[in-house]
Amino acid sequence: MPQQPLAQVPLDATWEWQELGACREADSTLFFHPQNERGTSRLRRDRAAKAVCARCPVVAHCADYAIRAREPYGVWGGLTEEERERVYLRATLSAYGREKGAGLRAAHDLLGLAQ
């Protein structure tokens, strides 16, 4: 899987929260779709990944990081690629910057997610 350019990683990014993620105990293929996966297969996999996120103690950190970093692939912080894309399309950098918490505010405001 290609890595995103480092220029997209927020300057204030921290990584300690990843050690506490519920996803560390799950198969990583649950969070990243195989090539050409569509329809009910993808929906079931995304729902299973979101179920792991729902019990995660650092889900807010994860979602915030993923949105601020413009993470292109996978389920992060309970948000699918498509859900994050909706945030990116509707948010502007003037309204939601790249400081900590901005990604989570954007998801809350634009997708109606709890903070």
Within a domain: residue 11? no
Within a domain: residue 30? yes
Within a domain: residue 10? no
Least confident of 25-29, 54-58, 64-68: 64-68
> 26, exposed or middle or buried, with CB in 10 Å at 0-12, 13-18, 19+?
middle
Within a domain: residue 1? no
Domain count, the chain: 1
Average pLDDT, the chain: 83
What does the radius of gyration of the chain's CA atoms come to, in whole angstroms? 14
The 10s digit of each residue's pLDDT in 1-15 is 455 555 577 777 778
Q: Is pLDDT at 99 greater than 90 in this prediction?
A: no
The 10s digit of each residue's pLDDT in 67-92 is 888 888 999 999 999 998 888 777 65
Within a domain: residue 45? yes
DSSP of 66-97, one letter per residue? HHHTT--SS-BTTB-HHHHHHHHHH--TTTS-
Within a domain: residue 35? yes
**Do residues 22 and 55 touch, judged by C-beta distance below 8 A?**
yes
Q: What is the DSSP letter of 31?
A: T
Token digits of residue 105: 């505010």
AA identity, residue 24: R
Within a domain: residue 52? yes
Beta bridge partners of 76: 79
The HSE-up count of residue 25 (CA atoms within 13 Å, CB side) is 8
- Domain of 55 in residue numbering reads as 22-111
Give me the pLDDT at residue 104, please: 75
The reported pTM is 0.73
Within a domain: residue 7? no
CA 67 to chain centre: 6
